[in-house]
A and B are shown apart, each in its own frame.
Chain A
Amino acid sequence: MRGPRRRLTAVAAAIAVIAALSAACSSAPAGPPTLTWYINPDDGGQTEIAARCTAAANGRYTIATSTLPRQASEQRQQLVRRLAANDSSIDIMSIDPPYVPEFAQAGFLAPMPPAVDAAAREDRVPSSIEASTWQNRLVVVPFWANTQLLWYRKAAVAAMGLDMSRPVTWDQIIQAAAANRTQIAAQGVRGESLTVWVNALVESGGGSIITNVGETDPALIQLGLTAPPGIDAARILREFGDAGVAPPGFPTADEDTNAESFQSGSAAFMVNYPFIWGKAKSGVEEGTLPQSVPDDYGWAVYPRTLPDLPSAPPLGGINLGVGAFSEHPDLAYEATTCISNPENSAYYFVSNGNPSSRLSVFSDPAVLAEFPMAPVIRDSLTQAEPRPQTAYYAEVSGGIQRTFHPPGAVVPGATNQAATDLITAVLRKEALL
C-alpha cells in the first residue's frame, strides 16, 4: 500500500507543478501589451523615442527595444531568419530601405491600415516614399532618410579654383584633385557601400541597375548595367583609380575610414553621410580636434555623372515595418506614427545626426543650429534615388560588389557585361555568388 500511495502523491505533486508552470506561462503579463521594436544600433535615439512614445500612449502600450547587429546586411539576416520562423515577438522593426521589397514579397510585413498609409505619406521627401513602396503599395513607414553629400575642405578647394556653389561633376573633382595632388575619399570596400556608389553613378547618368522594377520572378529581372549610363559609371570608377586620387587602402575603405582621411586633411573631397559632421563636432567637444577643422568643412549636393543632368544622390535611412506575425499589429502601426512624428524626427536628427524623412524638419531652428547643411541634405534627399528595388536585392548587390571590386580596376564595358552575366545567372540559379 505504501508504494502506490507514494506514487499517487508524486503524481499529484507533478500535476500541481506542471499546472502552476503552465499557468505562469500562459497567463498574459499584467499591464499594457509590450511592443518589441528591433532597432539598428545608434546613439540611443531610438530607445529615447521608444520611451517618449510609451509615455504618449497613456498606458495603451509600452515599447521595448531590442538591438540588431551593426551591419545592415546582418540586420536583414537576423530579421529574415526570425520572420521565416513566424516570430511573433517582432512588432516593429527598423529596416534598411533596399530590403523592403524582400520583406514585403515574403509576406513578412503586416498590411498597413489606410489611416496610417495616409499619415505616412504626409510631409515626406519623395525618395523615402519611393523606397517604402512595393507593388504600388506603401508597405513600411518612412522614419529617417539619409543621403550622401559631397564634402570638401574649403581652403584646399579654394586654391583649386573650383566653384562649389555650382553643381560639379565627378570628372571635375577627379581632375582638380589629381592636379593638386590631393585625394577623394570614396567607399571602395567590397561591401554595400560599393553598390551605393555604383547605383548613384548609374542613376545620376539617367540609367537604372534594374529596368523593370517590381518584377517578382527573378529569372525575368532586366538589368540596365550595359546601357550608356552604366558604362559611364564604370568609366568614372576607372578614372578615379587611374588618376591617383584614391586614398591609401582604397579597396578596403568604408565610411568610417574615409571620415578619418577627410578629417586628417589627406583628402580634400569626400562623398559620405552627414554623420561625419557630428563626428567632427564631438572631436572638438572632446578636445581631440581643433575647431578650425569643422570650420573648414564645406558641403554640396552629390557630384554629377553628366554635366547637364542633376545627380541622383544615394538614399539610405531607416523605414519602420510591422511584423506580419505580431500579436498587436494595430498598436504597432499606431506606435510607428508616434515614432516618426515631426517632434521625434527633429529630436533624432539633432541628437543622433540622422536626417528626417519629413520635409518640415529641415527648417526646424534646432536642426538648422546643429546642422547648417540641413537645406543641402533636403535638396539631396529630394533628388535622391533608391537602390534597385527587388526582392532579390542581396543577389543584385552581391553581384555588383564582386564584379566592380576593386573599383580602380574596373574595365568599362567588360565589367558591365560581367556584372550583367553574373547577376542574371545568379538570379536564374545557374551560378553561385
Chain B
Amino acid sequence: MTTTVERTEAVAPVSSTSDKSRAERRLGWYLAGPAFAVMLLVTAYPIVQAVFDSLFDYRLTDPQNSAFVGLGNYGVILTDSVWWTSFGVTVLITVVTVAVELVLGFALALVMLNALRGLRPVLRTVILIPYAVITVVSAFAWQFAFSVDSGFVNAWFSFLGTTADTDWFGTQGSSLFVICLAEIWKTTPFISLLLLAGLAQVPDVLQEAAKVDGATWWQRMRRVTLPNMKAAIMVAVLFRTLDAFRVFDSVFVMTAGANNTETVSFLAYRQTIERVEIGLGSAVSVLLFLSVVLISVLFIKGFKVDLSQARGE
C-alpha cells in the first residue's frame, strides 16, 4: 500500500484518474457484489449441479443404484424422436409467436408513441395489462375460452365454421394455435414496450428532414425509423426468443403435452419431476440451456446485437 501511495503522489495527474476509477470499480463491486454472489448461488450452482447430475443414471427413488454413464443420457436423448419432436414444436412456437408479436408489438408501439398526450398513460396501461397477468392464469383463461364444455369461442365464431363440438385441444395443429394465441396475447406488450423505447430514440430531426424532402410515411418508416431502431428491435427479438424457447406454462395447463404439443421445457419437467429420473432430466435441461446459449451467441455475434440498447444507454 505504501509504495502505491508514494507512486501516486509522484505522478499526480494520471494517478488521480486511476485512483478514481479504481475507487469507482471498488464501489461497483460493493454495490453489485452481493447480487453477483446471489446470482452465482442461485444460477451458476444449479447449472453446474445439473451438468454433474446429467452424467449419471440417477433416479430419486432408487439412489443406491445410481451409476456414472458419462454422456450416455445425451446419447439416449439425441437419438430419440421424442426430443426432436419437442424441439421442433418449441422452434415452431418460438418462430410463430416472435414473428407475430414483433409485427403486433410494433403496431402497438406506434399507437402508444403517436397517441395524444392525455391518452398515453391510459393506453400504455391498457396495452400492458396482459403482461401483468400471470402466465398460468392466462393459460387457464384461454383454455376455458376454447374448451368444448365451458368455452365461448365455439359459439362466438360459428360463422367461421366452428360448431359446439369443435375440440380445439383434440389435434396438434389446433392445440398449438391456441397455445400460440395465448402466448402472443400475453407477451406482445413486453415486445411493444421495448420497441417503444427504440422508437422514442429515433431523432425527430431526421424525421423532420425526411418530411421536408417529401418522403412518404412508408419511406420514412423504411429509411429512417427502422434503421435507427435496429438495435432495439434485435434486443426485443432476442429477449422474446429466449423467453419463447422456454415455453412451459401454456402447454402444461392446456394440453399437458398431449397430441405432440410437448416443448423442450415440458420434456425436462416430465423426466425430472414426473419420472424422478434426475440424470436424464438434467441432461434435457442442459441441452435446453445450451440451445438458449446458442440462440444468444447467434444473435449477439451474428446480428451484432448491442445489449446496452435494452437499458436505453
Q: Which residues of A contact B (CB under 8 A)?
A: 73, 77, 80-81, 84, 102, 105-106, 108, 189-191, 248-252, 257, 260, 391, 394-395, 398, 405-406, 429-433
Contacts and interface: CB of A to CB of B under 8 A. Distances in A.
Q: Which of under 10, 10 to 19, 20 to 34, or 35 or more describes the interface residues of B?
A: 20 to 34
B275 A251 contact: no
Given A77-B273, A190-B256, A433-B271, A84 B167 contact: no
B229 interface: no
Given A398-B274, A398-B275, A431-B76, A249 B60 contact: no
B18 interface: no
A251 B259 contact: yes
Contact of B80 (A102, A260, A431): A431
* B-side interface mostly: loop
A190 B258 CA distance: 6
A432 B82 contact: yes
Contact of B77 (A105, A406, A432): A432
B165 interface: yes
Contacts of B147: 249, 252
A251 B280 contact: no
B220 interface: no
17 contacts: A77-B273, A84-B276, A102-B61, A105-B62, A108-B61, A249-B147, A249-B169, A250-B167, A251-B259, A252-B170, A257-B148, A395-B275, A398-B274, A429-B57, A431-B76, A432-B80, A433-B270
A257 B149 contact: yes
B63 interface: yes
Given A391-B62, A398-B275, 12 more contacts: A77-B276, A80-B61, A84-B276, A248-B164, A248-B167, A249-B148, A252-B169, A252-B170, A394-B275, A429-B277, A431-B80, A432-B280
B31 to A, nearest CB: 28
B60 A431 contact: no
A429 B149 CA distance: 39
A191 B76 contact: no
A289 B13 CA distance: 90
A84 B276 CA distance: 10
Contacts of B60: 80-81, 84
Nearest to A422: B82
A248 B165 CA distance: 5
B299 interface: no
B274 A73 contact: yes
Contacts of A77: 273-274, 276
B98 to A, nearest CB: 27
**List of 3 A-B pairs having minimum Cβ-Cβ separation, nearest first:** A249-B148, A248-B165, A190-B258
Nearest to A102: B61
A364 to B, nearest CB: 36
A81 B61 CA distance: 9
A250 B167 CA distance: 9
A81 B164 CA distance: 42
Interface string B63-86: 100000000000011001011000
Contacts, number: 85
A77 B267 CA distance: 16
B68 to A, nearest CB: 13
A398 to B, nearest CB: 7
A429 B147 CA distance: 36
B14 to A, nearest CB: 40
A391 B170 contact: no
Interface of B: 57, 60-63, 76-77, 80, 82-83, 147-149, 164-165, 167, 169-170, 256-259, 267, 270-271, 273-277, 280, 284
A405 B258 contact: yes
Contacts of B82: 431-433
A395 B165 CA distance: 33
Contacts of B164: 248
A390 B82 CA distance: 24
A253 to B, nearest CB: 9
A260 B149 CA distance: 9
A217 B277 CA distance: 15
A414 to B, nearest CB: 16
Contacts of A405: 258
A250 B258 CA distance: 13
B258 A252 contact: yes
Contacts of B76: 429-432
Contact of A251 (B169, B271, B274): B169
Contacts of A430: 76
A81 B274 CA distance: 10
A391 B62 CA distance: 10
Contacts of A429: 57, 76, 277, 280
B277 to A, nearest CB: 8
Contacts of B284: 432
A252 B150 CA distance: 13
B77 A251 contact: no
Contacts of A406: 170, 259
Contact of B61 (A106, A190, A250, A431): A106
A260 B82 CA distance: 34
B258 A106 contact: no
A248 B168 CA distance: 11
Nearest to A391: B61
B248 to A, nearest CB: 15
B230 to A, nearest CB: 40
A251 B275 CA distance: 23
Most B CB contacts (10 A, CB to CB) among A77, A189, A190, A432 go to: A432
B61 A432 contact: no
A51 B63 CA distance: 37
A279 to B, nearest CB: 15
Contact of B149 (A81, A108, A189, A249): A249
Nearest to B256: A190
Contact of B63 (A84, A250, A251, A391): A84
A422 to B, nearest CB: 9
B280 A394 contact: no
Contacts of B170: 249-252, 406
Nearest to A78: B273
Contacts of B273: 77
Most A CB contacts (10 A, CB to CB) among B149, B164, B280 go to: B149
B258 A432 contact: no
Nearest to B271: A432
A190 B170 CA distance: 11
Nearest to A430: B76
Nearest to A256: B149
B133 to A, nearest CB: 22
Contacts of A190: 256-259
Contacts of B276: 77, 80-81, 84, 394
Contact of B167 (A80, A102, A251): A251
A252 B57 contact: no
A84 B63 CA distance: 9
